[in-house]
Amino acid sequence: MKPAPFRYHAPRTEAEALSLLAELAPEEGRVIAGGQSLVPAMALRVARPSHLVDINNVAGFDRLAVEDGWLRVGPLVRHAALGEGAVPGPLGRLLEVVRGQIAHLPIRTRGTVCGSLANADPASEWCLLAATLGARFHVRSLRGERVIEADAFFGGFMTTALAPDEILVELRLPVLSDAAHTGFHEFSRRAGDFAQAAALAVLELREGVIAAPRLGLGAVEDRPRRLLEAEALLAGRAPSEALFREAATTARAGLVPVDEDPYRLDLAETVIRRALSAAAGMPAP
Amino acid sequence: MMDGITPEAARHILPAGPGKVVGRGVARIEDGPLLRGEGRFAADVNFPRQLHMRVVRAELAHARLLRVDASAARTMPGVVAVWTAEDVAEIPPIPFRATKVRGLEPYCQPVLARDRLRYVGEPVAVVFADDAYRAEDAAEMVVVEAEELPVLLDATAPPAEFAPGLDTEPTVVRKEYGEVGAAFRAAHAVVELELSVGRHSGVPLETRGAIARYDASSDVLELHGTAKKQHWNRDEIARLLGRPPNGVHLFEGHVGGGFGVRGELYPEDLLVCAAALRLRRPIKWIEDRREHFVATNHSREQHHRIRAAVDAEGRLLAIDDAFFHDQGAYVRTHGARVADLAAGMLPGPYRLPAYRVAGHFRLTNKTPAATYRAPGRFETTFVRERLMDAIAHRLGLDPVEVRRRNLVAAAEMPFARPLDTLGTDIILDSGDYEGLLDKALARFGWDAMQEELAARRAAGECVGAGLAFFVEKSGLGPSDGVRISIDATGAVELVSGAASVGQGVETVLAQICAEALGVDYARVRVVHGRTDRIEFGNGAHASRVTVMSGSATWEAALAVREMALETAGTLLQLPPSELTIAEGVVCRADGATGPSVTLAEVARRMGPNAPEMRGRTPGLTAERWFWSDHMAYPYGVHLAQLRIDRGTGAVTVERYLVANDIGRAINPVLVEGQIRGGFAQGLGGALFEEFRYDPQGQPLSTTFADYLIPTIAEMPVVDVLIAEDAPSPLNPLGVKGAGEGGTNAVGAAFAAAVDDALRRPGAVTSLPILPAQVRRMLDGAA
């Protein structure tokens, strides 16, 4: 469990990092930020990058700010930095809840939000959050900058729209309205393990009925995504356990799970119902 | 029958109840360096000029080995040598030390695979390089050419060929007594179950390590990073490498968990030793975690087909069990021990007039298996207690009541079963089983809890409770020795053939020594796990150290005390019977003021140059050996209350009690630690841990992301009831081992409690109990 040989580069500016990556990407060069997924994979020699471009010293990459209705998260923002202290309102409270589900404290203090998104593990909590809220991904290379919408970013199992020479320089999460209610629920065998199913619900309650629902599911399919049919079913209806069960059943019918075990689909239904109940302020079913 | 006690020792039995040091939860003396980060684990051992060994391991579960090409690896930077089977052809296969059954020899493991690969992870070649990274790089360049063969992964499947003329069932462990056939014919009811326990094992925080160094100037081969069985391993390494045992020494540093798997003789131990001799450079090997999962002993995997004949009151008339023990690819150092223990210990605490068992000891294409904390007992307690629950259900009896009716009574002790295990007759030495059951039920509030659970179930919750009784075994003999010396400064040294795998050996032996000698326990230096300091030792396993080395300590310390009082009596002009020792000073026993003398002064008066020693062997020192023909049998009961999440099938422990009678707790805090730690491992085997394989025999549990050990978040608060109602008559301390009772009955208790929560008696038939299975059972129950 010692990594295969590699060359290490530690740029200090974004320009230097992009230039190194442009040069090294064709030779299996990889960006390393927190390294919480990449380093274990290297130790197992499952990942064998010949070059590592370490962005931990790049000035400004740790920026974290709310501007014009967006939470802007730089590539060196650690999981532990996101939470109520960083962002006010319902989004801050949601981030606080989600952050607590990510692995264990040492991993949260080192791993990065953008690294997790670029890794695109289907069980990643941040990927689910980004997909559900409609995040925007700002990516840059020597070739220029582009913005990728969440539904185009995740391309499949640990696959994204990032080109090898591109760095995810900023994640933008829409700040939630003060009227938004959120619910997150995941199931894993042990505390801190990869989720076997995770769901996120965001909704508003206007005159007793659900408005602007967003419902996302992670860890069940090869990538996290919004469950649009279930969302359509929820909109305009009064929250109830029966409605949430119906939404979960509807969602289940359209899922293409990563394994053929019906248990995975059972879990999907459970986490969907629980996330919705949490958002609606109802007890967990 | 009670010949475990020598007549001399019988005069000096430690009185019941807490003493000055014994029976007290004093702080561990070994913790200083551990807490300060000054410990020395295997990876901390380094020698100048050392080389690093990397093992090339089989990637196929079963194959004919055609060729191993190391030519490219030999040219890699830093590489000093690469060995394949041809290079170690003169080293015999790893022998077994325990439970020797005729016919097992051809199934022993060669240090490097010769013509067959039999499991993924089997050592095929070794690379020696000047750096661990370079060694791993070079190991990747070793080309293994092999032709795949069909794999055998199911021990219940018909045996296949192991080698020409040998099949994959080397032996069947059979034990039988009583009229089994007649009992079944006369039975009121016959209860039949098919049950299995999953493959899991001890996964210590510290992986294995071995650092060998040959000192040519003195012709001594040293092996560091050892554990558990230094003397046996020393003798075997010497024999297998053709050296005299006094030219081989094993050393023990700190050990980050033993649990049965650490400290056995493995191929890597011999390889580093052979390389140190041949390459004339120190050789260091540290197992990595992925290797550990495929190379270090697995355990537990058994499948039982069991039948019980019972009378109308639910009393056992006979048990007939056939089980299939999945040994993995080779027979390792334990021989058939786990199957033998399973067969011998299955009856547990119950009266059983007739018994027949056939343990099919079978090889498969998986990592070889051996002992893991409570070997053969975790498995058979699950099987036996499932059986008791099934009998209760069949006859409409309460699970507690059916156990009461079958428990061996206190008046029947000592209770001899016409059975043996580990080469000793099973004689349950002492116990009040029903008394402990009552104490445990009362402590848990069992009856009130049943009402509370019924109310919660009525409100829609899925909650249940279960219990499981167990009998452990401990203090495996036959012998162990301890030498205690007091030097001219008054410092006490205790040299033992025991080993420490982190369980608190130093503290416990120091407490016993201090109790007998009247010195400060914290100032007793305890030496263990070193073959250069004592000629013989049986090591640390099978919950034996406190019983065996503890008893030898007691006797040696009493002997030193007697010597000290005699010499002091001469110095003080008082008869020794009027003297005692307190805080290292010999003084009058009646408390009256008067002359006194320190142990340091006594030791000086007994030194080699002291005139009084003319014609005598000098030194304030004594060595005593404790011998035991029979094991001591601790026992107890586990009670579990749990909740099931209907949405996920996940099990959450709400309350858990381990009640364990161990005769006497030398240090109750350490005993509680043993029991809680043991429970954590039982919890792993009951709910989380499993080595899984794909249909080609590829291991699927090779990282801590796939092999789930319980973490602090999964650990419930465990209540521990330590009972001392039945001291062992087999040793002067009355002690029984405390290492395995916390693990033993966890699977069984959880199975019962999950059944109860599901309201489906007998639903759980296998361990671990996985959320997906529970979820399916919930569907079935609805």
Q: Return the SS3 of B366.
A: coil
Asked if residue A148 and residue A206 are part of one domain, the reply reads: no
A59 in any annotated domain = no
B288–A194 C-beta distance less than 8 A: no
**Interface-testing mutation among A245, A267, A269, A271, with chain B (most B C-beta atoms within 10 A):** A267
Chain A: nearest CA to B173, how far in angstroms? 37
Within 13 Å and on the Cβ side, how many CA atoms surround B395? 27
CA trace torsion B582, B588, B593, B599 (10° rounding)? -50
Q: Is B63 left (phi over 0), alpha (psi -120 to 50) or beta?
A: beta
Asked if residue A84 and residue A68 are part of one domain, the reply reads: yes
What would the pLDDT profile of B152-206 be if each residue is shown by its tens digit?
A: 999 999 999 999 999 999 999 999 999 999 999 999 999 999 999 999 999 999 9
pLDDT at A163 over 50: yes
Closest residue of A to B774, CA-based?
A263
A236 in any annotated domain = yes
Relative to beta strand A136-141, strand A167-174 is antiparallel
Of A2, A3, A270, the CB nearest to B648: A270
Cα(B130)–Cα(B142) distance, integer angstroms: 17
pLDDT at B5 over 50: no
Query: Is B648 an 8 Å CB contact of chain A?
Result: yes
Band of residue B4 on the pLDDT scale cut at 50, 70, 90: very low
Of B705, B711, B776, the CB nearest to A191: B711
* Tokens representing residue B360 in the block: 């099919």
**Interface-testing mutation among B134, B207, B644, B648, with chain A (most A C-beta atoms within 10 A):** B648
pLDDT at B346 over 80: yes
pLDDT at B585 over 80: yes
| CATH value at residue A26 | 3.30.43.10
A285 in any annotated domain = no
What would the pLDDT profile of B713-752 be if each residue is shown by its tens digit?
A: 999 999 999 999 999 999 999 999 999 999 999 999 999 9
Q: Which amino acid is at B128?
A: F
Domain boundary among A144, A174, A204: A174
ipTM of the modeled complex = 0.95
Asked if residue A146 and residue A75 are part of one domain, the reply reads: yes
Domain boundary among A151, A174, A197: A174
| CATH value at residue A204 | 3.30.390.50
Asked if residue A138 and residue A42 are part of one domain, the reply reads: no
pLDDT at B372 over 90: yes
Selected residues 147-186 of chain A with any CB under 8 Å from a CB in chain B: none
Query: pLDDT at position B7, please?
Result: 46
B705–A5 C-beta distance less than 8 A: no
Band of residue B11 on the pLDDT scale cut at 50, 70, 90: low
Cα(B20)–Cα(B574) distance, integer angstroms: 25
Mean pLDDT of B590-617: 92
Asked if residue A107 and residue A82 are part of one domain, the reply reads: yes
Domains in chain B, ordered, with CATH?
Answer: 7-39+476-627 (3.30.365.10), 42-99+110-148+207-254+262-295 (3.90.1170.50), 302-475+630-781 (3.30.365.10)
pLDDT at A9 over 90: yes
Asked if residue A195 and residue A127 are part of one domain, the reply reads: no
* Tokens representing residue B71 in the block: 């030519």
pLDDT at B630 over 50: yes
* Average pLDDT score over chain B: 95
Asked if residue A37 and residue A106 are part of one domain, the reply reads: no
Q: Which amino acid is at B660?
A: N
* Structural domains in chain A (count): 3
B288–A45 C-beta distance less than 8 A: no
Asked if residue A156 and residue A69 are part of one domain, the reply reads: yes
Domain span holding position A186: 181-279
Chain B residues touching A44 at Cβ < 8 A:
290, 703
What would the pLDDT profile of B513-564 be if each residue is shown by its tens digit?
A: 999 999 999 999 999 999 999 999 999 988 899 999 999 999 999 999 999 9
Asked if residue A161 and residue A69 are part of one domain, the reply reads: yes
Q: Is there a contact between A136 and A148 (Cβ–Cβ < 8 Å)?
A: yes
Query: Is A1 an 8 Å CB contact of chain B?
Result: yes
pLDDT at B781 over 70: no
Asked if residue A191 and residue A115 are part of one domain, the reply reads: no
Asked if residue A43 and residue A71 are part of one domain, the reply reads: no
Query: pLDDT at position A86, please?
Result: 80
Chain A residues touching B706 at Cβ < 8 A:
none
pLDDT at B3 over 80: no
Cα(B640)–Cα(B756) distance, integer angstroms: 11
Burial class (CB in 10 A: 0-12, 13-18, 19+), B346: buried
pLDDT at B222 over 80: yes
Asked if residue A89 and residue A34 are part of one domain, the reply reads: no
What would the pLDDT profile of B469-495 be if each residue is shown by its tens digit?
A: 999 999 988 999 999 999 999 999 999
What would the pLDDT profile of B449-475 be if each residue is shown by its tens digit?
A: 999 999 999 999 999 999 999 999 999
What would the pLDDT profile of A232-278 be if each residue is shown by its tens digit?
A: 999 999 999 999 999 999 999 999 999 888 999 999 999 999 999 99
Q: Is B363 left (phi over 0), alpha (psi -120 to 50) or beta?
A: beta
A187–B703 C-beta distance less than 8 A: no
Mean pLDDT of B662-666: 97
Selected residues 203-222 of chain A with any CB under 8 Å from a CB in chain B: none
Relative to beta strand B651-661, strand B718-723 is parallel
What would the pLDDT profile of A20-46 be if each residue is shown by its tens digit?
A: 999 999 999 999 999 999 999 999 999
Cα(B599)–Cα(B607) distance, integer angstroms: 12
Cα(B366)–Cα(B693) distance, integer angstroms: 8
Q: Is there a contact between B268 and B279 (Cβ–Cβ < 8 Å)?
A: no
Of A5, A190, A274, the CB nearest to B708: A190
A1 in any annotated domain = no
Chain B residues touching A185 at Cβ < 8 A:
none
Query: Is A105 an 8 Å CB contact of chain B?
Result: no
Cα(B254)–Cα(B259) distance, integer angstroms: 14
Q: Kindly report the backbone phi and psi dihedral angles of residue B384, in degrees, each rounded to the nearest multiple of 5, phi listed first.
A: -65, -45
| Nearest residue to B8 (alpha-carbon basis) of B727, B733, B732, B736 | B732
* Tokens representing residue B697 in the block: 């025999």
Query: Is B132 an 8 Å CB contact of chain A?
Result: yes
SS (H, E, C) B558-618: HHHHHHHHHHHHHHHCCCHHHEEEECCEEEECCCCCCCCEEHHHHHHHCCCCCHHHCCCCC
Band of residue A216 on the pLDDT scale cut at 50, 70, 90: very high
A284 in any annotated domain = no
Domain boundary among A149, A174, A199: A174
Of chain A, the percentage scoring pLDDT greater than 70 comes to 100
Of A191, A269, A274, the CB nearest to B713: A191
Query: pLDDT at position B612, please?
Result: 86
* Tokens representing residue B119 in the block: 């499991």
What would the pLDDT profile of A88-129 be if each residue is shown by its tens digit?
A: 899 999 999 999 999 999 999 999 999 999 999 999 999 999
